[in-house]
Amino acid sequence: MVVDNDLMSLGAGISTSEANNIIVANNRVLNTINGIYIQSYDGGVYRDNVTIRVLTPYTGGMDAGNNK
């Protein structure tokens, strides 16, 4: 589980290849190329995250809601 982080000015905000049962929640990602990247579309979810000035905010996984 990746929860409640502030990430700024990186190439990638949050990236994981282990998507089974991962939850990425309550994070703030600012000024990155990739915001939240979950390699698999199966098993990983993201919810309640904020991305600002991110080229590709969300990739892979499932949107569980309230992402901005």
Condensed to tens digits (0 to 9), the pLDDT of residues 3-43 reads 777 777 777 788 887 666 788 999 999 999 999 988 865 67
Structure tokens at 57: 């905010």
- pTM, whole model, 2 decimals? 0.82
Structural domain of 57? 2-63
Split into its structural domains, the chain has a count of 1
Looking at residue 4, its pLDDT comes to 75
Residue 50 has pLDDT above 80, yes or no: yes
- Cβ atoms 11, 35 nearer than 8 A: no
Residue 10 lies in a domain: yes
Residue 64: per-residue pLDDT: 94
Q: Does a structural domain hold residue 68?
A: no
